[in-house]
Structure 1
Amino acid sequence: MTRSWTAETWPIAAAMIPFPGKLPDGRLVQDADPQLWADNLTDVADAGFESVDPTDSWLRVADLEPARRAEFVAICRELELSVPAISTSRRSVIDPLHGDDYLAYSHRVIDTAAELGAGYVSFGFFGPFTPAQEKALWFWTEQGVKNPGDDATYQLAVDRIRELGRHAAEMGIQVSLEMYEDTYLGTARDAVRFVTEVDHPSVKLNIDIGNLIRLHRPVEAWSEMIDLCLPFAGYWHVKNYYRIEDPSGVIMSHPAPLLGGTINWRQAIAKAIKAGFDSPFLVEHYGGDGLGVCARNRDYIREILRVRTVRT
């Protein structure tokens, strides 16, 4: 895909993670009246967003009946919200119980992206929350599900992503694989190895290094991760964290705006633009007024793009 965007038109989508997928009465947003979708999406539009990613922890657009999906599209059109991408969460194609179902679902996501005019999808290998993660204030402070270490499962992952890449290419879609701890994309080197083994032009990396910087354990330096992964960069989830590493060995983190935190996003994005990065951004934030922080992160990215796109 060739970039033709300016700093003002570059798609910067709001993630829907500030909005729960389950209502207080136990109903799923998936089954709710479309007016609820409209209420949530109106908040996104009111925050100044022109693009939204209907993150499937909120709403599985690919699993809506055609008539309800048409209602979703109509709401977005009424609010003048484009859908540049669809991200999936915790629906790994190698899940030991539901891998086959999630593979079929991922194919539906690709078809739905094409139907909606979205050029990008994001997949990952991270599993469901553990009971400990569900109880924690910040889920990343508890150990999550790890990908198996055997060669057969690894090869299955490679084969299934390559299969999705072939389908995506037929539909004019780009696949991005989300970096996430304890998965086959859990370090920069692991991510580069995996996408290289998939070896398909429609499969890139979602360099979501915030997922790794927030861990309460030693991790690679953010700048090293960026440098290693940029040649494979696709649709990009961006967020930041304050990270404290005490001499005693204690490591702690907390969500931060892009402008603050440990990752220097001005430097990271500048490197990406110089390297020819040409995919949309997704802004995410956990805690507090997540949507409000995302809106300010969007403005910060545009500030960086104004400078970098002029220079390039």
Structure 2
Amino acid sequence: MTYTPETWPIGAALLNFTGVTQDGLDRTEAGPQAWKQTLREVRVAGFDHVDLTDSWVRAGDLDAGGRRQLLETARSYGLAFSDLAVTRKSVITADEEQAQRNMAYTKRTIDAAADLEAPMVCLGLHDPLTQEQKDATWFWLAKGIEDEDTTANRDKAAGRFRELGEYAATRGVSLSLEMYEGTFLGTADSSVQLVKAVDLPNVGLCPDIGNIVRLHRPVEDWREMLVKMLPHTNYWQLKNYFRDHDPATGAYASAPAPLALGFINYREAIGMALEAGFDGPMCVEHYGGDGLSVAAMNRNYIRDILRAKLPEE
């Protein structure tokens, strides 16, 4: 499909909304009454698409009736789902029983994406936050669980993503593999190597370079990362960070920033993506503060860039 600046699907991430209601209920199990307020706020913020983050509602744990209710509730606010995001459920986590549960959950989420008319499921290899990450001001300031860097483990990741991709193809759904530090998707080269090993037309990359730019250590230039990853990109989570480095002390600093203000020049980055032929859904994320309002600012910024970059009709 050829999108215009106004119709390009840009979903609001739901990272800033909790999976537990004010009275302590699991929001997934609580049903439509627990979903309406968030979806209403997303619509009032000017969005027409939602990136369904499973930290808010686990669509993969809803039965057919629950998925139907979720779709109807979203439609009642004029919203569609641009993507379903599977978060921190690695299919190669060290506990093999948990890895198999994550595989089964991901397949259920793929089923849910088909039922919710979402074209994409985004997943990665990052594990749940450690206690140190939970205690940090920003979780990326503490070291998380990392993939065991062996050929056998890499082959396992490729094989399981291939299995999931083949399953997704039967449901008319695409998969996107999210860039994230400490995993086989932690660098541009490693990400490209992995998606090539999967070798399926419906499996691509999500070059979430914000996950890398925020790290307090030397990182690859964001332009170089995109040059490598954009030819394989089918979905894009966009967020930005202020980033600073003091050579005198070796200290790094980072903090969340609106897309237009941070370290990554997204006007240039989006131009690079369009030139590479990217035409997939986007998702705007922001941690801290009123993330939804910043996401709405980011959406408007992206649409302005698309108006300037896309060919005139």
Normalising by the smaller structure, the TM-score range is over 0.9
Give me the whole-angstrom Cα distance separating, in 1, the residues matched to 2:300 and 2:61.
32
- 1:54 is paired with a residue whose SS is strand
Q: In the alignment, which residue of structure 1 is the partner of 2:49?
A: 51
Pairwise mapping of residues 144-293 of structure 1 onto structure 2 (< 5 A)?
144-247=144-247, 248-293=249-294
CA 1:198 to 1:33, structure 2 compared with 1: closer, same or farther past 3 Å? closer
Give me the whole-angstrom Cα distance separating, in 2, the residues matched to 1:250 and 1:166.
45
- 2:67–2:115: 8 Å Cα contact kept in structure 1? no
Equivalent AA in structure 2 for residue 267 of structure 1:
E
Q: In the alignment, which residue of structure 1 is the partner of 2:68?
A: 70
Give me the whole-angstrom Cα distance separating, in 1, the residues matched to 2:41 and 2:270.
27
- 1:19 pairs, out of 17, 20, 34, with 17
- 1:271 is paired with a residue whose SS is helix
Give me the whole-angstrom Cα distance separating, in 2, the residues matched to 1:130 and 1:200.
33
Q: Once the 2 structures are TM-superposed, how far is the Cα of residue 32 of structure 1 from its aligned partner?
A: 2.3
Q: In the alignment, which residue of structure 2 is the partner of 1:307?
A: 308
Give me the whole-angstrom Cα distance separating, in 1, the residues matched to 2:168 and 2:68.
22
Q: Once the 2 structures are TM-superposed, how far is the Cα of residue 28 of structure 1 from its aligned partner?
A: 2.2
Q: In the alignment, which residue of structure 2 is the partner of 1:118?
A: 118
Task: Verify: 1:128 aligned to 2:134, yes or no.
Answer: no
Give me the whole-angstrom Cα distance separating, in 1, the residues matched to 2:117 and 2:8.
16
Task: Verify: 1:139 aligned to 2:139, yes or no.
Answer: yes
Equivalent AA in structure 1 for residue 213 of structure 2:
I
Give the number of equivalent residue pairs: 310
Percent identity among equivalent residues? 47
Q: Once the 2 structures are TM-superposed, how far is the Cα of residue 24 of structure 1 from its aligned partner?
A: 5.0
- 2:243–2:263: 8 Å Cα contact kept in structure 1? yes
- 1:190 is paired with a residue whose SS is helix
Q: Once the 2 structures are TM-superposed, how far is the Cα of residue 311 of structure 1 from its aligned partner?
A: 5.7
- 2:68–2:115: 8 Å Cα contact kept in structure 1? no
Task: Verify: 1:91 aligned to 2:89, yes or no.
Answer: yes
* Worse-superposed segment, 166-175 or 41-50: 166-175
Q: Once the 2 structures are TM-superposed, how far is the Cα of residue 5 of structure 1 from its aligned partner?
A: 1.0
Q: Once the 2 structures are TM-superposed, how far is the Cα of residue 170 of structure 1 from its aligned partner?
A: 2.1
* Worse-superposed segment, 150-159 or 126-135: 150-159
* Worse-superposed segment, 22-31 or 106-115: 22-31
Give me the whole-angstrom Cα distance separating, in 2, the residues matched to 1:33 and 1:171.
25
Give me the whole-angstrom Cα distance separating, in 2, the residues matched to 1:76 and 1:142.
36
Give me the whole-angstrom Cα distance separating, in 1, the residues matched to 2:84 and 2:234.
13
- In the superposition, the TM-score normalised over structure 1's length comes to 0.96
- In the superposition, the TM-score normalised over structure 2's length comes to 0.96
Give me the whole-angstrom Cα distance separating, in 2, the residues matched to 1:24 and 1:232.
41
Name stretches of at least 5 consecutive residues in structure 1 with no aligned partner. none
1:55-113 deviation digits (Å, cap 9, x = unpaired): 00111012112222222111101000011211110011112231101111111111111
Give me the whole-angstrom Cα distance separating, in 2, the residues matched to 1:173 and 1:279.
13
Give me the whole-angstrom Cα distance separating, in 2, the residues matched to 1:25 and 1:95.
32
Give me the whole-angstrom Cα distance separating, in 2, the residues matched to 1:19 and 1:310.
37
Alignment RMSD, CA only? 1.3
Equivalent AA in structure 2 for residue 229 of structure 1:
M
Q: Once the 2 structures are TM-superposed, how far is the Cα of residue 153 of structure 1 from its aligned partner?
A: 1.8
Q: Once the 2 structures are TM-superposed, how far is the Cα of residue 27 of structure 1 from its aligned partner?
A: 2.9
* Worse-superposed segment, 62-71 or 160-169: 62-71
Give me the whole-angstrom Cα distance separating, in 1, the residues matched to 2:52 and 2:93.
22
Equivalent AA in structure 1 for residue 64 of structure 2:
P
Q: Once the 2 structures are TM-superposed, how far is the Cα of residue 26 of structure 1 from its aligned partner?
A: 3.9
* Worse-superposed segment, 118-127 or 146-155: 146-155
CA 1:152 to 1:121, structure 2 compared with 1: closer, same or farther past 3 Å? same
- 1:83 is paired with a residue whose SS is strand
- 2:68–2:116: 8 Å Cα contact kept in structure 1? no
